[in-house]
């Protein structure tokens, strides 16, 4: 078992199927407090944000914000703002749908839990409207154009910037910061978080040039799904110094998807110095690891494979943001260090 799987929160995106499912398809702190709405510290100047569905202009300083993107709420919380409502995590959250790092930050801010919205079957404009927002954030989402058009009738809405589910955490942080009048604070958070990741990379020079592949198993077909360039997981690996394995670039990728597929019969094509796999269940992991075909993959034979099944850890890496990165990275990097040395 990896050290990450054993670790607790301080040293510890969603498994592929959970993210694909969503893509297919309590109140906050009292109004007027810093831990409730954006604060520009002066007169508000209109902000226009370009995105995949056009552009959104925010004419007034937002005071009630609803987040419908995965991890958008965490970025907002790190900026000291508690949303009026946020996306529930039915995959990795507690019994109510709250994620551990969000709860820790809410406690730090001394704020009440925001209202939760379930977006597993799509984003309901009606649910959002019930919270009377003046800004809706879905920067890390797969918000469709139809959903966007419905939400804009409720409040100014900011969806993903370019590709669904593939807004980098830096762009996400800066976009949200600009939308709420905290552009400078957002830049500082990005700089500090980047410095933290760079520090981890410097502590592990063995990562430089080491090839990697990050994947999972598709429950419906049993195929491997490997995350492609632009997805959050390979981005984090690249920031740590790893290089993408060449075979991933040759995999078929459907339009709008963030992964390529490979049948288990072609597992001999998996040529990576370090192999990281995320699983939906312990049984799924056990079945694959017992497969003779999987055991013959060089990274598995060489002690350079690590596997994870805990939903919280998968979520923290799959939708990285300034809250989850320090929450999960220390343990993750320890495991990567062992794998890079063939000692996983």
Per the structure, how many domains does the chain have?
Answer: 2
Residue 262, domain extent: 3-8+195-340
**How much is the pTM?**
0.85
Q: Give the pLDDT confidence of 100-149 residue by residue, as tens digits.
A: 999 999 999 999 999 999 999 999 999 999 999 999 999 999 999 999 99
Q: Final residue of a domain: which of 156, 182, 208?
A: 182
What is the distance between the alpha carbons of residues 16 and 310, in angstroms, rounded to a whole number?
13
Model confidence over 172-231: pLDDT tens digits?
999 999 999 999 999 999 999 999 999 999 999 999 999 999 999 998 899 999 999 989
Which CATH number covers residue 157? Answer: 3.40.50.1980
Could you tell me the CA-to-CA distances from 103 to 93, 294, 341 in Å, in that order?
10, 38, 36
DSSP H stretches of helix in the chain? 3-6, 16-24, 72-78, 100-109, 125-129, 145-152, 169-179, 183-203, 232-239, 246-249, 282-289, 292-295, 298-301, 311-318, 324-340
User: Residue 9 — pLDDT band, cuts 50, 70, 90?
Assistant: very low
Judgement on whether residues 104 and 203 belong to the same structural domain of the protein: no
| Whole-angstrom distance, CA of residue 313 vs CA of residue 5 | 8
| 247: Cα separation from own chain's centroid | 24
Residue 153 CA to its chain's centroid (Å): 27
pLDDT band for position 42 (50/70/90)? low
Query: Residue 295 — pLDDT band, cuts 50, 70, 90?
Result: very high
Is 209 part of a structural domain of the chain? yes
Question: Diameter of the chain by CA atoms?
Answer: 65
- Strand 224-227 and strand 211-217: the pairing is antiparallel
**188 part of a folded domain:** no
Cβ burial of 199 (10 Å; 0-12, 13-18, 19+) is exposed
- Answer yes or no: do 150 and 226 share one domain: no
């Amino acid at each position: 078992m990896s050290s990450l799987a054993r670790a607790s929160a301080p040293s510890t995106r969603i498994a592929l199927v959970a993210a694909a499912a969503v893509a297919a398809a309590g109140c906050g702190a009292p109004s007027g407090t810093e831990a409730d709405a954006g604060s520009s510290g002066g007169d508000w100047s209109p902000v226009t944000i370009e995105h995949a569905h056009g552009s959104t202009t925010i004419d007034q300083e937002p005071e009630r914000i609803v987040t419908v993107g995965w991890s958008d709420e965490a970025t907002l919380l790190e900026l000291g703002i508690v949303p009026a409502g946020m996306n529930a995590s039915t995959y990795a959250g507690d019994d109510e749908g709250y994620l551990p790092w969000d709860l820790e930050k809410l406690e730090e801010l001394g704020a009440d839990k925001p209202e939760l919205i379930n977006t597993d079957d799509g984003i309901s404009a009606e649910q959002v409207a019930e919270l009377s927002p003046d800004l809706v954030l879905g920067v890390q989402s797969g918000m469709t154009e139809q959903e966007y058009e419905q939400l804009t009738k409720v409040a100014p809405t900011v969806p993903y910037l370019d590709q669904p589910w593939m807004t980098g955490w830096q762009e996400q942080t800066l976009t949200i910061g600009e939308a709420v009048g905290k552009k400078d604070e957002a830049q500082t958070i990005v700089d500090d978080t980047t410095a933290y990741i760079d520090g981890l990379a410097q502590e592990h020079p063995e990562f430089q040039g080491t090839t990697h592949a990050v994947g999972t198993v598709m429950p419906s077909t049993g195929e491997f799904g490997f995350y492609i360039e632009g997805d959050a997981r390979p981005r984090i690996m690249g920031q740590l110094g790893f290089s993408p394995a060449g075979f991933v670039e040759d995999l078929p990728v459907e339009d709008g998807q963030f992964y390529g597929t490979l049948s288990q019969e072609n597992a001999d094509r998996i040529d990576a110095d370090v192999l990281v796999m995320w699983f939906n269940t312990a049984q799924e992991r056990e079945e694959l690891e017992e497969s003779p075909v999987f055991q013959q993959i060089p990274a598995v034979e060489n002690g350079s494979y690590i596997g994870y099944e805990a939903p919280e850890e998968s979520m923290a890496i799959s939708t990285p943001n300034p809250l989850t990165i320090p929450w999960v990275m220390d343990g993750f990097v320890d495991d990567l260090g062992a794998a890079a040395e063939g000692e996983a």
